[in-house]
Amino acid sequence: MSSEIPLRNSLLSRLLVTSVLISLVSIGATAWLTVRGTTVAIEQERGQALADDATIQDTLEGFAATHRNWNGVERTVLDLSRSTGRTIILTTRARQVITTSHRSAAERLPLNESAVIDPLHVTPSTDQSVGQAEQTSRIDPRAVGPYRLPAEERAMLRRFARDEVSCHYDRTRVRAHIVEEASGRPALRTLRASEEYIPPCASKDLSAPTPTEAPALAQLTGLVRDCAARNRVRLPKPLIITVDFRVVGADSAQSSDAVDDCVEEGRREQLAAHVAPAALLFVTSPPRTATAVFDLSPAGTLRVLATTGLVLAGTIAVTAVIAIRLVRPLRALTNAARAPSGRHLRIPVTAKDETGYLAAALNDLSERRERTDEQRRVMVSDIAHELRTPLTNIRGWLDAAQDGLAEPDSALFTSLQEEAGLLQHIVDDLQVLAAADAGTLRLRPQELDLRELIEQTMSAHQATAHAGGVETVVHAPDSLSIHADPVRLRQILGNLLSNAIRHTPPDGRVTLSARRVAGAVAIEVKDTGSGIRQEDLPRVFDRFWRAEQSRSRRTGGSGLGLSIVRQLVRAHGGDVSVASRPHVETVFMVRLPC
């Protein structure tokens, strides 16, 4: 089968088309979930954003009201940024950064600030639990400055307040509670927020200025007089300012408002040295909000639910059909793989999609496995045959010597030693091939002078070549180096030279040459022997294969030499090839990377 699957037959394309259709139908049924969830999320997000902004502003105003400067505000800003997830930048009026929760954000300030942090000019509180004076004042009630009471004065006033609470309950049967203000002075509130506290038995001790408050009020009185003189405001005589900053005895409503303005201005002047200077607040990275809010009616919700049910039923049906069509050929593949005969049955290819290509690939794999099993059986038979011959010879000579048919002389021992050496050679070759197959063949590469190694290898085979009347030639340039295992490289060249000399008739020539090619070094072993037929070239490197099928060791070795050559060359990261013209020449070329 072709490796390319037509798009219309592709299982992937069919699954994609089915998924797209199901998705398009499902979008309408699931949209209402997003809309309804978005409605709730937007409302919660907007409310949370407003609450976070109010928290940030109130916390920083409280810090400014209780500190003379902004030193130490960094931790407060970082805590607010972590708890709200917003980026907070605090600057002076001149937009010089005081602190920021993210350094990179301070490089580009927004055009407009989010708020001005000034404890002396805040938005009047609308909390019903605070007094009327605190509601109209624009000074943060936490900014107390010189009015902060020490512990002993707080304890004294709290005793007076408890006595007044008891008196209030005894006379009105309405319970009141004590609230400690920022300065430490206790204030009384009724338990019902809608009811204003009217002291039926007010204590002068509770409303009288303490030793700490008296000088501060005296200073404030002087500031109020200065303000009145500047603005030509008529002050009551005598001018008395209570602990809750009320002026006693103002003549008219208009005069009372002017006096209250002077009290407010005097308090700002008095507290200016006790609070942090005004600063600009920038709050960025607000949560995302949607531009519109949608909702569904009950009837629309029911229609969407019905549509969703139909889509779900259709999805299940389509999925079931596709799953059955997918599973059927896969079951056929499984049954074929589990055939009781132990042999993989050929699977009929009935489709032209991925499952059909999988069946064809498994059929090819089965054929390759059967060929491999056949080669393994042949190899075992060849190994047994190769080992049987020398073992038979050894046993025959030993039996003859034991029966007295042969003299145990040096000739006998030499023959037995040759047969044992042949066995050892076969076992060593098999061990090398087994290590190569298992990936445990170890190489010890080093820098080699290739010309020197070639000459040494040829010298080791010259005696055999001269005995057979074969001429040997070496061609290699000087200073040709290579990084390889010298022992294994000699083994490679030795096997190739042995084969070349063995198959070259007298007056023939064997040439060992080396040269540098693109990115590699090429080593050639060329002989003018009998050669190899074209149909046999693909099997030259197979194990136990010989051109002479008679298995005669006079014309061939064990049949493992060329297999070992291929494995050793591959272990070096190279390749080996052969070209031959029968009775003309045969060339084995080994290419090793530089």
Per DSSP, the residues of 358-420 read: HHHHHHHHHHHHHHHHHHHHHHHHHHHHHHHHHHHHHHHHHHHHHTTSS--SHHHHHHHHHHH
Contacts (Cβ under 8 Å, ≥6 apart) of 14: 322, 353
Q: For residue 413, what are its two tokens?
A: 């021992």
Burial class (CB in 10 A: 0-12, 13-18, 19+), 504: buried
For 446-593, which CATH class?
Answer: alpha beta
Core vs surface per residue 318-334: b (16+ CB within 10 A) or e: eeeeeeeeeeebeebee
Contacts (Cβ under 8 Å, ≥6 apart) of 9: 351, 352, 353
Using CA of residue 181, residue 187, residue 193, residue 197, what is the dihedral sign?
A: negative
Residues of the chain with CATH 3.30.565.10: 446-593
**Residue 244: phi, psi to the nearest 5?**
-100, 25
Residues of the chain with CATH 1.10.287.130: 354-438
pLDDT digits (tens, 9 = 90+) for 394-436: 787 788 778 777 777 887 777 778 777 767 767 776 777 677 6
What amino acid is encoded at 281 in this protein? L
Q: Average model confidence (pLDDT) for the chain?
A: 79
Q: In the block, which residue shows the tokens 């040439």?
A: 511
Using CA of residue 279, residue 280, residue 286, residue 292, what is the dihedral sign?
A: positive
pLDDT digits (tens, 9 = 90+) for 158-214: 998 888 888 877 787 778 888 888 888 998 887 654 455 566 676 777 888 999 989
Residue 81 C-alpha from the chain's centroid: 27
| Whole-number Å distance between alpha carbons of 583 and 572 | 32
pLDDT tens series, the chain, 594 aa: 455 556 666 666 666 677 777 777 677 666 766 676 666 667 767 777 788 888 999 999 999 999 999 999 999 999 999 998 889 999 999 989 999 988 887 778 888 888 999 999 987 754 544 444 444 788 999 999 999 999 999 999 899 888 888 887 778 777 888 888 888 899 888 765 445 556 667 677 788 899 998 998 889 899 989 998 898 888 888 888 888 888 886 555 556 788 888 999 999 999 999 999 999 999 987 544 444 444 555 765 676 677 777 777 877 787 778 777 777 777 777 777 676 655 656 777 666 666 777 777 777 877 777 777 776 776 676 666 667 767 777 787 788 778 777 777 887 777 778 777 767 767 776 777 677 666 777 888 899 988 999 998 889 888 889 988 999 999 988 888 899 988 888 888 988 998 899 889 999 999 999 999 888 999 999 999 888 888 888 888 876 666 655 444 444 456 677 888 888 888 888 999 999 998 889 999 999 987
Report the run of H or E that residue 483 belongs to, with start and end: strand 481-484
| Whole-number Å distance between alpha carbons of 118 and 279 | 7
- My answer on whether omega of the bond before 238 falls inside 30° of 0, hence cis, is yes
Entry pTM: 0.44
Residue 87: closest CA among 70, 104, 69, 62: 104
CATH number of the domain located at residue range(s) 354-438 in this protein = 1.10.287.130
Contacts (Cβ under 8 Å, ≥6 apart) of 380: none
